[in-house]
Structure 1
């Protein structure tokens, strides 16, 4: 098989796993009871989650089914040109991030756990194949500065939310959750990753662009993800305080900027004259 055929196959498998997980999250109620736990969501796949967490997971499921899946199927339906490869890279970045988040405790353990685990290697392999085209892509002007700002904004926003939760004593019941997966990923990987990639791009490193695209993909999807999650969280009965406004405004700017840079990369920039130095 050619590399393009492998890319199509692996991408299809990763997207199928993501779609199955999203459908299960939105529409499936597994058999069996859950005991006396009135403070939990209490229905569907996320029945053992708090309403805020369950609504957030269902919001991500909506993004997968209504945005990621149609875009990726469009990319797979034609020749794997540069724009289509970029769309696949964005979709696979989403399924990889989602698979990692759900596998490592963003939601309570549920029957879709095997799907979450399988999403990780399939998405990572497909992403590696899709990004090969962009190895020698010239860095768009201002991209290193934007990624540096993304790292700082992401770190500041999640640090603020974490500090507010901890000072308010808003710890979840230990029987349901033991970690804050989103905080760990965004503060431990995404924020410092943006800073490291910005430095790499400034230094002309070829790996910088290959790592920049997944980070831009996650950043660009922040706004639709947060909007979908907010709708589903409100439906689940979760309440929001005024402290949520500042991070939302910052993430909106980050999402718009990342989408603009992805659009520039989809249009194509001249290749760099030399590889990594």
Structure 2
């Protein structure tokens, strides 16, 4: 399954990067009576200029980081490395997030079936990787005194809170004003908002609480969240550069704020991900050795709790 995801994902991302717009954007009127600019040509011709440039940035990050990460983790997983299996779950979780957005949110284009394939492959590969991750290895990570457990817990809880606040603010404002959220444009709903609020936010909160209690499942759940957070920084930075080049205007605060914010999140998330992977053994921990009868005899035949 990871091999299929890597092959199809690399091909889809490459097509997205090579099949770029070759004409001016097309202005259309949305069903809500607003005007929006579509890319007009290229793979993402029916997406808005804002979304098309964001998709191009994601394609570049998937091809440069996401696919190599899956391949590397898969090779380690095939060597029965718990660390490799955990990283495989993390990298497939990232691709699951990406292609859930693509399959459900990108305007229909010739790669639709590829997006559905990637959504299915990354979903079932992710579930398989979760189920195959050694619980003994996760327990070892949970007991590792060198892993910053409290920092990891607070980071996950803070990520959940920030995501909820950032996405709920425009949605609640639009609801109170009786209008559509900004940047909805020609789309019927906000898929990214839906996934982030329904899946990412509660998953991050749950992981943070479980890590605080040193529950092994919390560390398993943290891996895909950390990988996704780390890879958001290059995605947002490149998307902003492409959007500015495409003529979308931003205030300095709109550029500096998100990039600097995600730079901090990416740096901290990368550090925590590295520490988490380091705490996971490279081989499955074995059971504690039984005490041999000869060892007991050598100690005078004493048994626990025996009297003089």
Of structures 1 and 2, the one scoring higher in RCO (CA 8 A, sep 6+) is 1
CA contact (8 A) 1:153 1:250 kept: no
Distance 1:101 1:135, change over 3 A: farther
Instruction: Choose from 56, 60, 67 the match for 2:65.
Output: 67
Instruction: Choose from 50, 53, 66 the match for 1:52.
Output: 50
Write out aligned runs for 1:180-259 (5 A): 180-241=190-251, 242-259=253-270
Counting matched residue pairs gives 259
Q: Determine if the alignment matches structure 1 residue 15 to structure 2 residue 6.
A: yes
Please give the root-mean-square deviation of Cα atoms over the aligned residues, in Å: 3.1
Instruction: Please give the alpha-carbon distance, in whole angstroms, between the structure 1 residues aligned to 2:286 and 2:87.
Output: 25
TM-score when normalising by structure 1: 0.80
Distance apart, 1:263 and its partner CA: 0.5
Distance 1:269 1:26, change over 3 A: closer
Q: Determine if the alignment matches structure 1 residue 267 to structure 2 residue 281.
A: no
Instruction: Please give the alpha-carbon distance, in whole angstroms, between the structure 2 residues aligned to 1:226 and 1:58.
Output: 11
Distance 1:240 1:206, change over 3 A: same
Instruction: Please give the alpha-carbon distance, in whole angstroms, between the structure 1 residues aligned to 2:163 and 2:27.
Output: 38
* Matched residue, 1:92: 92
CA contact (8 A) 2:26 2:37 kept: no
Instruction: Please give the alpha-carbon distance, in whole angstroms, between the structure 2 residues aligned to 1:221 and 1:35.
Output: 31
Instruction: Please give the alpha-carbon distance, in whole angstroms, between the structure 2 residues aligned to 1:134 and 1:159.
Output: 37
Unaligned runs of at least 5 residues, structure 1 = 1-9
CA contact (8 A) 1:165 1:171 kept: no
Structure 1 stretch displaced more, 240-249 or 161-170: 161-170
Instruction: Please give the alpha-carbon distance, in whole angstroms, between the structure 2 residues aligned to 1:29 and 1:254.
Output: 30
Distance 1:152 1:247, change over 3 A: farther
Deviations, residues 97-124 of structure 1 (Å, cap 9, x unaligned): 111111111x212121111111122112
Distance 1:230 1:273, change over 3 A: farther
Instruction: Please give the alpha-carbon distance, in whole angstroms, between the structure 1 residues aligned to 2:27 and 2:280.
Output: 58
